[in-house]
Amino acid sequence: MSEQDSHHIENDPQFKGLNVNSGIEQPDSVSNDSVKRFLQKKRKLLPVQDYVDGILKGDITLLSKAVTLVESSKAEHQKLAQQIIAACLPHSGNAVRIGITGVPGVGKSTFIEALGKYLTSKGEKLAVLAIDPSSERTKGSILGDKTRMEELASDNNAYIRPSPSAGSLGGVARKTRETIILCEAAGYKNIFIETVGVGQSETAVHSMTDFFLLLMLAGAGDELQGIKRGIMEMADLIAINKADGNNVEKADMAKVQYKNAIHLFPRKESGWDPNVLTCSAYQKVGIDSIWEQIEKYRKQTVDNGYFYKKRNEQATYWMHETIEEQLKRNFYDHPEIKEKVKVLENYVLSDKMSSFIAAGELLDTYSKLK
């Protein structure tokens, strides 16, 4: 028995039949020194100015690194991200921000690819971001789990970033809004924000975009498509996709129906009359007419001042959203509150306390902690 083995109490003669050997020391998982140095270097954060200079030059690698910081929940990363955003802010705001929504399968990625290629063929740059509500509930992703926009992904003038996956919808939306600022500073003049039109995420998307495009299908009732009336009211343009093959006639009929339906909606503050068009993202038909509408909208709302009014309203909206989000996070993350929430939840569930009294007590406790 080695000297080391004799340290094990089980090896004492009183425990007959037991013999415990010392294990061997666990080797380092990375034995190659140059690999170690590479990994350390990879994780190292850069000075703020390096990110900012890179972004302003349109360097995709540095832009992506900065977006990763925006998405990170580490305090150190967040601090750096906020400094980068502050430095990029004066260089942002000059893109057109387009929200695109529609149920899964309607053809959002096919459409964005078609419109994106149309724009890059004209020498334009675009960024595609997403807000994916599924990540909130299931940690899965509707918008990120398939190979999407392959053609656009390999286009140097397009930057595609999947939805940030962690956190509440408010948190994910805030990160996307901050990413818009970075992309604009990097010279992307067209920003697409995609979301699945089935929940509340389109309200978040609407609150950060200039133009809201709703993709629909012909022959499927609104209820079937899960599109709520409120979402249709938000739309600046409805495009009926998959208007190809023997679907063309149905799409034209749907166009008339939707046109009649949206006429009944209250007039928009923007002064813009939403239109209904048909397109085939797959066959790249009708894409140019849709882009014309977006350009027309932009011109009209810049001329009547609504474009900037809406942007200002969005800026204050996001200030309040960020405060709410931060306050909520601070509250629920506090260890004492975490404990107390569990206890009071049980009181509420067993009718020992009303929800309001429990909430009051928690808020009281929190205010005394500060």
Number of residues this chain uses to bind ligand GDP (CB under 6 A) = 14
Q: Could you give the angle at the alpha carbon of 76 between the alpha carbons of 70 and 80, nearest 5°?
A: 50
Q: Which of 53, 124, 244, 361 forms a contact with ligand GDP (CB under 6 A)?
A: 244
**E strand map for the chain:** 96-102, 126-131, 158-160, 190-196, 211-217, 237-241, 275-278
Q: Which of 71, 84, 101, 109 forms a contact with ligand GDP (CB under 6 A)?
A: 109
In the bound complex, what is the minimum distance in angstroms from residue 247's beta carbon to ligand GDP? 7
Q: Is 187 in the site for ligand GDP (CB under 6 A)?
A: no
Q: Is 242 in the site for ligand GDP (CB under 6 A)?
A: yes
Please say whether the beta carbons of 65 and 57 come within 8 A.
no
Question: 134 or 176: whose CB is closer to ligand GDP?
Answer: 134
Rounded Cα gap, residues 189 and 94, in angstroms: 7
Question: 88 or 254: whose CB is closer to ligand GDP?
Answer: 254
Question: 176 or 270: whose CB is closer to ligand GDP?
Answer: 176
DSSP 3-state of 187: coil
Q: Is 314 in the site for ligand GDP (CB under 6 A)?
A: no
Q: Which residues contact 159 (CB under 8 A, 6 or more apart)?
A: 60, 63, 125, 126, 127, 128, 183, 186, 188
Q: Is 97 in the site for ligand GDP (CB under 6 A)?
A: no
Q: Is 140 in the site for ligand GDP (CB under 6 A)?
A: no
Rounded Cα gap, residues 358 and 350, in angstroms: 12
Stretch that binds ligand GDP, among 46-54, 107-115, 161-169, 347-355 (CB under 6 A): 107-115
Question: 113 or 178: whose CB is closer to ligand GDP?
Answer: 113
The residue of the chain with the least Cβ separation from ligand GDP equals 107
Question: 215 or 353: whose CB is closer to ligand GDP?
Answer: 215
Q: Do β-strands 158-160 and 211-217 pair in parallel, antiparallel, or remain unpaired?
A: unpaired
Residue 270's CB: how many other CB atoms inside 10 A? 18
CA atoms within 13 A on the CB side of 251: 21
Binding mask 265-294 for ligand GDP (x = CB under 6 A): ---------------xxx------------
Rounded Cα gap, residues 68 and 175, in angstroms: 10
State the residues that interact with ligand GDP by CB under 6 A: 102, 104-110, 241-242, 244, 280-282
